[in-house]
Structure 1
Amino acid sequence: MDHVNKPEVAKAVPASLSWSATGYEAFFEEGLPSRDIERWDAEGRPLVVSEEHRGLVRAEDLPGFTGIDICHRPMAVVPAAAGTTTAEGRPVRAWMVDADSFAYPVTEDF
């Protein structure tokens, strides 16, 4: 088969896909936004940015903290080949590669 001239088609990515530099996210009670975990303190507790405190604070010290979960950790961005589109026909500009070596299409609405 001749694959050279066939356009690539990427699978759609869920809109709820979360990314953080550490690969972890702090969750709070319903109605409160989640926050990226930026780093860990000396006791291994997650730290998040707080605008109110103007810096990093322990996630557990903020109101409504419920826990943490794993999310995607970006490792690289690779340009997409010309003509690559999603199954819905949106052009893929690049591929976001996570720490598990999975690649996700980057489109205008990524």
Structure 2
Amino acid sequence: MDFSPSGWAAEFDPSESTGQVVWRPVERWSADGDALVADERRGCLLEARALKGFKRLVSVGKVVGAVPAAPGWKLKLWDDDKDDATAYEVPIAAWIVDAGGAMSPVPAGSDSYLEPVLRQRSEIVAPE
């Protein structure tokens, strides 16, 4: 998890089905200072440390804004970091701005959910 509304994420033990670490964004803090995460089944916020498998809190980027990208900006992505032949370009739909002022490109996707590319080899391509 790279961003959350609070700038923090809760780490939980790996999922039994996938074996991957489970991350949940800290949505906000309680009046007592406890990290609150969404419980999808109950439909409410719960203290992260009270949930099964809680390990720790980790600082992540805090999104403070989003800016639409000007036409022509593209993101070059690689399916395989070591193979240049796997490169392809997609238009940049927006820029995510974090609390430190850094901007991350958000590529246009085929679905309605946009997210920044952070862990994949990428290169920003300026308009011609």
- Interval of TM-score (by shorter of Structure 1 and Structure 2): 0.7 to 0.9
Query: Counterpart of 1:60 in 2: which secondary structure?
Result: helix
The answer to whether residue 77 in structure 2 is matched with residue 77 in structure 1 is no
Summarize the alignment of residues 1-110 of structure 1 with structure 2, pairs less than 5 Å apart: 18-31=2-15, 33-88=22-77, 89-109=89-109, 110=115
What 5-or-longer segments of structure 1 have no aligned partner?
1-16
Q: CA deviation at 1:105?
A: 0.6
Mapped partners of 1:98, 1:74: distance in 2? 4
Q: CA deviation at 1:76?
A: 1.3
Aligned alpha-carbon RMSD (Å): 1.7
The CA deviation string for residues 3-36 of structure 1, in whole angstroms up to 9 with x for no partner, is xxxxxxxxxxxxxx52211111111001262111
Q: Identify which of structures 1 and 2 has the higher relative contact order when contacts are C-alpha pairs closer than 8 Å and 6+ apart.
A: 1
TM-score, scaled relative to structure 1: 0.75
Q: CA deviation at 1:99?
A: 0.8
Query: Counterpart of 2:49 in 1: which secondary structure?
Result: helix
Query: Counterpart of 2:105 in 1: which secondary structure?
Result: strand
Mapped partners of 2:94, 2:40: distance in 1? 32
- Aligned pair count? 94
What one-letter code is carried by the residue in structure 2 that aligns with 1:19? F
Mapped partners of 2:8, 2:51: distance in 1? 17
What 5-or-longer segments of structure 2 have no aligned partner?
16-20, 78-88, 110-114, 116-128
Mapped partners of 2:52, 2:34: distance in 1? 16
Percent identical among aligned pairs is 33
